[in-house]
Structure 1
Amino acid sequence: MPTPDRTSLDAIVRAGQDILESAGLSGLTMQAVADRVGVRAPSLYKRVRNRDDLVRLITEATVRDLGERLAAIGAGTDPRRDLAELARAFRAFAHARPRGYQLIFAPRPDLTGPSTEALTHAVEPVLQVAANLAGEAHALNAARTLTAWANGFISMELAGAFKLGGDIDQAYEFGIARLADALIG
């Protein structure tokens, strides 16, 4: 097996993200990550303090990935369209990486949460769209409203909680349009 110096922290985190998606949080073990990157488990401790630290690093990397996806949307001249594109990208990310997405919003000890810096960078696109919709003075409140609605909807969707029938995609689009109407300043 390679020496620990041949295994990067980035490779460890990427392996952890992959394991999280395929095996869930309970399957995310130091041994599973070590096997994936081709080292012995004790070698991981030269890069990662413990499993909680690994979960924190994975959560932070996932937040950065989400932020990059949202930043790629960019703000245009139509705040309603920008909101719709942002909300759709948020939902697409959650469907592509449901366990990582859930990890971002899961209640957990502060030890496994992402840094304020990572969160701040990730929410910049949401704050910009919110400011364009509701005005600068209400940007933070609008961004929180948008995030809470989208996360609630997506979390229920991922949990299979929408049991009354109907088109879930259409319901999501309905919510986006109503939020835009409510937030226009």
Structure 2
Amino acid sequence: MPTPERTSTEQVVAEARRILEQRGADGLSMQAVAAAVGVKAPSLYKRVASRDDLLRLALEATALELGDRLDRALAGAPADARGALAAVADATRAYAAEVPVAFGLLFGALPEAARPRPEVLASASTAVLALGRRLAGPDHELAAARTITAWMTGFVGMQRAGAFRLGGDVEEAWRFGVDALGAALEARRT
């Protein structure tokens, strides 16, 4: 059956993202996506090269959507760098709660063919890079952005996994971490 004109790459990617969240990475298949868009699996090969390509496209869409959210969070954030960090961190955490499977995969180990392209990741990283520059200065922009990303994704991943088992208030720990990270990065500003 030929791919109907009503089926687009955008629809294929949207269904892949939906399936990914509902069934996990193991549940994402060409067959499942084809059924969701109303075509036979071989027809999908006109749109995507492989299952890894499908996963890459889904994760790229996730990265760009996250980047848009973070851009908006930064634009609406307080003028001070630590307030901006809190806004971006909170937006990241909220987004991770909306799409936990794709978020986890985006920051996890993937086959080379499923990894988002560097230019997509660069486009999605503008807010975090700008935040790194504001906090730590232009000489440390990339290192600061990586530190921010690593802390946020690590905390979110541990929370999602139920790894905070020693009691205490997780929200308080989040705020403490954001504040401590902001202070540490500002101390590195040159």
Structures share a fold, TM > 0.5? yes
Find the aligned partners of 2:83 and 2:152 in 1 and give their Cα distance. 16
Q: In percent, how many aligned pairs have the same letter?
A: 50
CA displacement 1:13-70 (0-9 Å, x = unmatched): 0000000000101111111111111111111111111111101111111111111111
Find the aligned partners of 2:163 and 2:173 in 1 and give their Cα distance. 13
1:35 and 2:35 aligned: yes
Query: What residue number does 2:110 align with?
Result: 108
Query: What residue number does 2:68 align with?
Result: 68
Find the aligned partners of 2:166 and 2:93 in 1 and give their Cα distance. 20
Find the aligned partners of 2:106 and 2:119 in 1 and give their Cα distance. 14
Find the aligned partners of 1:109 and 1:42 in 2 and give their Cα distance. 22
Query: What residue number does 1:119 align with?
Result: 121
Structure 2 counterpart of 1:11, which letter? Q
Find the aligned partners of 2:106 and 2:87 in 1 and give their Cα distance. 21
TM-score under structure 2 length normalisation: 0.93
Question: Is the alpha carbon distance of 1:34 and 1:135 closer, same or farther for their aligned partners in structure 2, counting shifts above 3 Å?
Answer: same
Please tell me whether the aligned partners of residues 2 and 38 of structure 1 are also in contact (alpha carbons under 8 angstroms).
Answer: no
TM-score under structure 1 length normalisation: 0.95
Find the aligned partners of 2:79 and 2:158 in 1 and give their Cα distance. 32
Structure 1 counterpart of 2:126, which letter? E
- After superposition, the CA RMSD in angstroms is 1.4
Q: Note the residue ranges of structure 2 that are not aligned, 5 or more in a row.
A: none
* Deviation of the 1:78 alpha carbon: 1.2
Paired residues for 1:9-20 under 5 Å: 9-20=9-20
Find the aligned partners of 1:11 and 1:126 in 2 and give their Cα distance. 29
Query: What residue number does 1:95 align with?
Result: 97
Q: Note the residue ranges of structure 1 that are not aligned, 5 or more in a row.
A: none
Structure 2 counterpart of 1:105, which letter? F
Please tell me whether the aligned partners of residues 4 and 44 of structure 1 are also in contact (alpha carbons under 8 angstroms).
Answer: no
Paired residues for 1:1-185 under 5 Å: 3-75=3-75, 76-184=78-186, 185=189
* Deviation of the 1:2 alpha carbon: 8.0
Structure 1 counterpart of 2:12, which letter? I
Question: Is the alpha carbon distance of 1:3 and 1:144 closer, same or farther for their aligned partners in structure 2, counting shifts above 3 Å?
Answer: closer
Deviating above 6 A after TM superposition, structure 1's stretches of 4 or more consecutive aligned residues are: none
Structure 1 counterpart of 2:165, which letter? K
